[in-house]
Copies of this chain bind each other. A is one copy, B any other.
Amino acid sequence: MPAIVDPNDYTPKYYQLVTILRERISSGELLPHQPIPSERQLEDIYSVSRTTIRQAIDLLVRQGFLYREHGRGTFVSPQKLQKGISELTSFSEDMRARGIEPGQKILELKMAVPSEEVRQRLELPADQDEVLFIERLRLGDGVPMGLMTSYHVLPEGLTLDREGLEAVGSIYSLLQEKFHLIATEADETLEAVLATPREAGLLQIAAGSPLLLSVRVTYSQYRRAMEYVKILYRADRYQYFAKLTR
């Protein structure tokens, strides 16, 4: 594993280095709290400059794989159960990361005139008068996990019906491929609520059961709001994870 430089590899050197180091960590070659080679040593080992070494280590530190101590060295972080789960994920990705097979049952899907609350959350321009509204029961391994209500801002002129959504797979991939719109950031609030009779019925629990309510506004790479999503999770089946840093 000497010098990196795969001439056929178009990925940046620093990122090749990230991959190599992460592999050496997850393979168990580098153990928790043990130092990795110093930056000067890594220069020789992989024949890249310290600039590139530091760029790679910076990323791994931010991802929580390594930690630095000034004057002492760079060390391997102990592996936590949950990796970096303060990342923006879709319901499906979230479920798969937990080892659960996601599913859904669409209750309603239509273009609709947004309420004032939805307009404000999505910071809608005046000329946008319709958004895509979806209500669906979200399943994990076939059983109800949560009730999701979402409002999506679609590019001018585009609409979507149930068949269209099922044909394209996910709204995200449609927006990305056709319009280069990518979800890059989101603001989320979480609170505890009690299930109403309707919600309880759909989620197959008793009315008055606790639910975890997630309200999220997702922003594109241009920092424009692109969707407003509420999910009511069954408290007995769902916990929210967060990784906090100082």
Contact = CB atoms under 8 A, between A and B. Distances in A.
A192 interface: yes
A87 interface: yes
Contacts of A204: none
A207 to B, nearest CB: 12
B208 A243 contact: no
A59 B126 CA distance: 34
Q: In the complex this chain forms, how many copies of it are found?
A: 2
Interface in A204-231: 208, 210-213, 216, 221-223
A193 interface: yes
A82 to B, nearest CB: 6
A244 interface: yes
B212 A191 contact: yes
Contacts of A187: 80-82, 241-244
Given A67-B223, A78-B223, A243 B190 contact: no
Contacts of A80: 187
A188 B69 contact: no
Contact of A191 (B87, B240, B243): B240
Contacts of A216: 244
Contacts of A213: 192
A72 to B, nearest CB: 10
A142 to B, nearest CB: 22
A32 interface: yes
A86 interface: yes
A186 B244 CA distance: 5
A88 B244 contact: yes
Given A64-B185, A78-B223, A88-B245, 6 more contacts: A86-B86, A184-B246, A187-B243, A189-B240, A190-B239, A192-B192
Chain A to chain B: the 4 pairs with minimum beta-carbon distance, closest first: A192-B192, A192-B235, A192-B210, A88-B244
